[in-house]
Structures are given as C-alpha cells and as structure tokens.
Amino acid sequence: MDGLKPAHFFTGYEPMIATADMPDSLTQTHGARPFLGIYDYRYAPYSLGDTITWQMNVLVIAIESGANAIDHILMVDPKHPACWMQPHINTANYLTALQNIFPAYLCSPLLRNVRVFRDRTTFNDLLASHLRSGLQVYPSPGDHLRRRVRSGGIVNLSHGGFPLSHSVLNAFYMKNGYLPRLVAPRGYERSARMFLARHAAGRTVVAVHMRQSGLGSNPSALHRDSPMAEWVHFLKMAAVRWPDVLFVVFGGYHEWERPLMLLKNVLVPRTFGLGLAHELALLHHADMFMGSSSGFSAAATFSSVPYVIVNVEHDFSRYSEVPVGELRYPFALDNQEIYWEKETAALLAACFERAYRGLRKRTVSEAASTAGH
C-alpha cells in the first residue's frame, strides 16, 4: 500500500485524542472550512455502491455549504457492527468487512481526514463538539438520530435511506451546470500508473466488472448478476475485433471464472495481490469502464472516465430520476452511457463498438490538437 500521509486514522480506543473538551485537528486546520460526513454502520450498509453515492452526496452538499475540506467519520460498534440488512456481518468478522470497503472512502477530491470510531460515546462527544462549533454535517443530526440518510427524492426509510437517490446530485447539476467528480483513492495513483505502464503499455485499457454475487458466501439481489457465459463470449470476440484492447477485470476471487485468466486480452489485478484500492485507482486511469450495474459502476458513474453500464435495474429509475430506457444520466459526460437490458454477447459488442469509436475520435482529436501547438 502506498502511504496515506494526508489522512488521519482514529480507532476509538484512544479517547484522549478526541474528547469533546480537547482541541481537535478537524476544526483547527488553518484556513479550512470543513464539512463532516458521517457513515454509521448501525444503519448504513457495507456496500461499495452505497459508499460511493454517499460520498458524492457529502461532496455536493459540502460544496453548496461553502466548505473546502471534508472529514469522513465512520462509526462501527463492535457489539452491533452492522445494520439489519447484513446479519452475516458480526463481531467476529466486521473488521474484515470494514477493511475491504475502507478504500472507497478515500475518493473525494476535498478529503482531508478519515476517522474510524469503535466507541459510540467518544463518537457522540466529538460530534456534539463539532455541532456546537457550527460545523455542518451530512446526514443532518436529526436524520442521524433517526438512523437514516436523506438525499432528496425517494427515501427508503425501512433501509436507513438506502439506496440513496440522485436527487441532490441532479439538482446540483441543474443549478450549476456541472457535477464534481470523484478521484482515485488517495495514495494509490502512482501504483495504478506503474501497474499499467508495466502490463498495459500501448494498449487501450478497459476496466471491467461482472457482478457475480451468487458465487459468494452471502449472495444477494441475484437478478442483478451478470451472465458470465455471455461476457466470456464477448471477450473472445473482442480479442479478434479489437486486438489493441486489454480488459482489466475487477472483483473478488469469487466474481470471475478461472478460464478468464487464459484469455490473452484479459488481466485480473487480484492475481497480482492487488485489492479494492488499486482497482478503484485503475478505474480512474483506464481509458474506459464497462460492466453491469454494481458498486464499480457507481464509481465509474461519478468519475470522468467514459463508461458503458449495462443491466441497470429498472427499479433504480425511481432513485436516479431517469426513465427506463434513457441512455444517459443528466450529469453524464461525453461517452458515458447506460443500458437497461440484460447482457448478451451481441449487446456487449454493440455497446462497446459505439464507445470504442468515441475513444478513437477523442484520441484523433487530441493528437490533432497537440500537433497544432
């Protein structure tokens, strides 16, 4: 792991560092106008997509409030480490779950600190201290006490407000004409560049994720899983039609089949000992992302990377405020498209060919611009 010197980590077992009556670094950085984002696993899930969308809401609301720095505060109680939606996460394995998802909290461009608390009294003391000092927070104190997150639009109260809607994000975009973008996890950009320079030099790099929850130990929402046979067929077809393209496949070991490793146009970072932080960094340095609707697709949605996202859940239309069948989110950049159909090899090839042409046009345009100077 690359160093993460700008961030500060707090376990909650050092209460003298963050008691309410002591000076605190979060509010004393010279010239900073900080904003506090709270993620409490008492009601929030260990979920990549939800973590990414929460982070975007924190970022947008912070900018609206005039903040120029964001501090993420994570609260995980060892006695009650997970919400009711994830009963498989318990006192024996919650640290593994937290470790696995933690890199996702490092993607905000305004990130200043990340703190993890395991003692609720210490957490409450710090939160009360910040509120008294006028520090703004998300979710609001009222929503936090009610164990929920609001993001405008539809609020799923039975699930703590998750999944989060795009209402706040869409409103920000309509008002300001842009949406801020997430970045590679702090401290991992150099690793991503070095990895791609070594293994993908001269290739068009496409980050890929095929959702395969059914192959894991805690399957969920199986209707969202990808048909692996269709993806394999597409990848074999792509090796012939687009020989310059290297597909970098993301996900845990249970999410990709071993025959993928035999395809010459496929690279699996996990086989090199890399993890989620590296994958998120690679996504931001790829030429394009392609995958089914999942946590990685959420990371792509709020990035500046061209993407093709397939198998978008029709029910999510209510939360994204985008009609089923629409090709783009309101805030999407050029060459960022969504498709609502289940994957087939033919659909994947057609979607990729359209996106690939866009990449080639952009490359030619950039080359012409460089030559002109």
The first and second tokens of residue 42, run together, are 């008492």
The mean pLDDT of the chain is 85
More confident of the two residues 317 and 5? 317
- pLDDT value of residue 20: 26
33 contacts 62 by C-beta, under 8 angstroms: no
- pLDDT value of residue 360: 81
Mean pLDDT to the nearest integer, 172-181: 97
**What are the phi and psi torsion angles at 117 (to 5°)?**
-110, 140
pLDDT surpasses 90 at 22: no
pLDDT surpasses 50 at 10: no
Cα–Cα distances in angstroms (integers) from residue 104 to residues 150, 279, 298, in the given order: 20, 10, 11
Helix boundaries (H) for the chain: 25-28, 48-65, 94-101, 120-132, 141-145, 167-176, 189-199, 228-241, 276-285, 295-301, 317-320, 345-372
First to last CA, the chain: 39
- pLDDT value of residue 227: 82
Strand order in the sheet with 307-310: 266-267, 245-249, 204-209, 288-292, 307-310, 336-338
* Domains assigned to the chain: 15-176 (no CATH), 189-372 (3.40.50.2000)
pLDDT surpasses 60 at 12: no
Nearest to 94 by CA among 104, 106, 79: 79
- pLDDT value of residue 151: 65
Q: Which distant-in-sequence residues (6+ apart) come within 8 Å of 337 by Cβ?
A: 307, 308, 309, 327, 328, 351, 354, 355
- pLDDT value of residue 14: 28
pLDDT band at 1 (very low <50, low <70, confident <90, very high): very low
DSSP-derived 3-state class of residue 80: strand
Summarize pLDDT for 66-101 with one digit per residue, the tens: 999 999 999 999 999 999 889 999 999 999 999 999
DSSP string, 245-296: EEEEE-S-GGGS-GGGGG-TTEE-GGGGT--HHHHHHHHHHSSEEEEESSHH
- pLDDT value of residue 224: 64
128 contacts 23 by C-beta, under 8 angstroms: no
Range with the poorest average pLDDT among 11-15, 40-44, 219-223:
11-15
Whole-number Å distance between alpha carbons of 180 and 331:
10
- pLDDT value of residue 369: 53
Nearest to 263 by CA among 237, 227, 241, 283: 237
Mean pLDDT to the nearest integer, 9-33: 39
- pLDDT value of residue 3: 36
H or E stretch at 77? none
pLDDT band at 18 (very low <50, low <70, confident <90, very high): very low
Nearest to 279 by CA among 52, 45, 110: 52
pLDDT band at 30 (very low <50, low <70, confident <90, very high): low
**What are the phi and psi torsion angles at 21 (to 5°)?**
-100, 15
25 contacts 55 by C-beta, under 8 angstroms: no
107 contacts 282 by C-beta, under 8 angstroms: no
- pLDDT value of residue 322: 95
Nearest to 46 by CA among 17, 108, 89: 89
- pLDDT value of residue 157: 63
Whole-number Å distance between alpha carbons of 358 and 6:
37
Cα–Cα distances in angstroms (integers) from residue 354 to residues 265, 304, 306, 307, 347, in the given order: 19, 18, 12, 11, 11
